[in-house]
């Protein structure tokens, strides 16, 4: 029996767990950080909560006899990926990162890319005055000082820390449609969209809506992956990687 740890929190992680579960010779345990109030749970075994840094993860991998790790965390969950790469190297467990391609790979007219949310906040006033902020719950605080702008802030759960003074919060989880995104942007007279380069189909409709309405898009680039890490870009790639090792 091969025990696979899937570091989750993404739809790819759930799809991988569901795909591997029926295989008789593979046992899957998915790990969630436990930050979202009502998480979508993967099928099969699930554990929830941080491991306690690299040392904690090293202990957990030994205690739970893990043979392989698939880091299927969100592309912006850089700390978890770094910790997993270090822990995997320390205990000699093979690891692959499953990361869907970013949207910036097919850059469009009207897009501006910056390295982090602080840079996005610095550039934003040059691009618009009514922003649709779709960077999730984390990082919203970077925009809290922009009191001359109005924000529509969308996240699954309430943002961490201060929010911009002129803002409306909406809670929603994708997938979203182009029609609904276009209507939302129109209704709030949005003139700039801010997003992370998360990639994937579930939340891509806002990009099509912005293009249709000729609204500029400000994208935060992904953090860089730890050096030397093996990467696959879809669930099938992760399954092939597992099969190549077992």
Instruction: Please give the DSSP secondary-structure letter assigned to residue 103.
Output: G
The span from the CA of 192 to the CA of 76, in Å, is 22
The residue from 41, 53, 170, 212 that contacts ligand NAP (CB under 6 A) is: 53
Is 10 an interacting residue with respect to ligand NAP (CB under 6 A)? yes
Is 7 an interacting residue with respect to ligand NAP (CB under 6 A)? yes
Is 76 an interacting residue with respect to ligand NAP (CB under 6 A)? yes
In the complex, least distance from residue 6 CB atom to ligand NAP, rounded to whole angstroms = 8
The span from the CA of 186 to the CA of 191, in Å, is 9
The span from the CA of 95 to the CA of 4, in Å, is 10
Is 73 an interacting residue with respect to ligand NAP (CB under 6 A)? yes
Q: Which residues pair with 230 in a beta bridge?
A: 96
Helices 235-245, 11-20: axis angle to 10 degrees equals: 40
Is 51 an interacting residue with respect to ligand NAP (CB under 6 A)? yes
Kindly list the distances between the CA atom of residue 95 and the CA atoms of 81, 202, 241, in Å, as whole numbers in the listed order. 10, 26, 9
In the complex, least distance from residue 39 CB atom to ligand NAP, rounded to whole angstroms = 9
In the complex, least distance from residue 225 CB atom to ligand NAP, rounded to whole angstroms = 12
Nearer to ligand NAP among residue 35 and residue 188 (C-beta): 35
Is 9 an interacting residue with respect to ligand NAP (CB under 6 A)? yes
In the complex, least distance from residue 129 CB atom to ligand NAP, rounded to whole angstroms = 25
3-state secondary structure 163-201: CCCCEEEEECCCCCCHHHHHHHHHHCCCCEEEEECCCCC
Is 134 an interacting residue with respect to ligand NAP (CB under 6 A)? no
Which residues sit at the interface with ligand NAP, rule CB under 6 A? Answer: 7-10, 31-33, 35, 50-53, 56-57, 73-74, 76-80, 83, 136, 138
């Amino acid at each position: 029996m091969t025990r696979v740890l899937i570091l989750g929190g993404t739809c790819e992680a759930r799809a991988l767990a569901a795909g591997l579960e029926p295989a008789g010779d593979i046992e899957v345990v998915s790990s969630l950080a436990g930050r979202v109030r009502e998480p979508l749970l993967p099928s099969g075994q699930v554990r929830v909560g941080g491991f306690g840094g690299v040392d904690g993860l090293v202990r957990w991998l030994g205690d739970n006899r893990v043979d392989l790790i698939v880091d299927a965390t969100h592309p912006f969950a850089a700390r978890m990926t770094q910790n997993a790469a270090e822990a995997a190297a320390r205990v000699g467990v093979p690891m692959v990162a499953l990361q869907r391609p970013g949207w910036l790979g097919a850059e469009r007219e009207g897009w501006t890319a910056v390295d982090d949310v602080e840079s996005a906040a610095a550039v934003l006033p040059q691009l618009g005055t009514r922003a649709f902020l779709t960077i999730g719950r984390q990082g919203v605080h970077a925009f809290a000082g922009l009191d001359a702008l109005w924000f529509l802030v969308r996240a699954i759960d309430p943002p961490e820390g201060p929010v911009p003074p002129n803002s409306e919060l909406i809670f929603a989880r994708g997938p979203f449609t182009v029609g609904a995104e276009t209507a939302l942007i129109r209704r709030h007279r949005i003139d700039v969209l801010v997003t992370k380069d998360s990639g994937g189909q579930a939340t891509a409709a806002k990009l099509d809506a912005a293009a249709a309405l000729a609204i500029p898009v400000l994208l935060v680039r992904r953090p860089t992956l730890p050096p030397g890490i093996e990467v696959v870009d879809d669930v099938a790639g992760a399954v092939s990687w597992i099969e190549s090792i077992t």
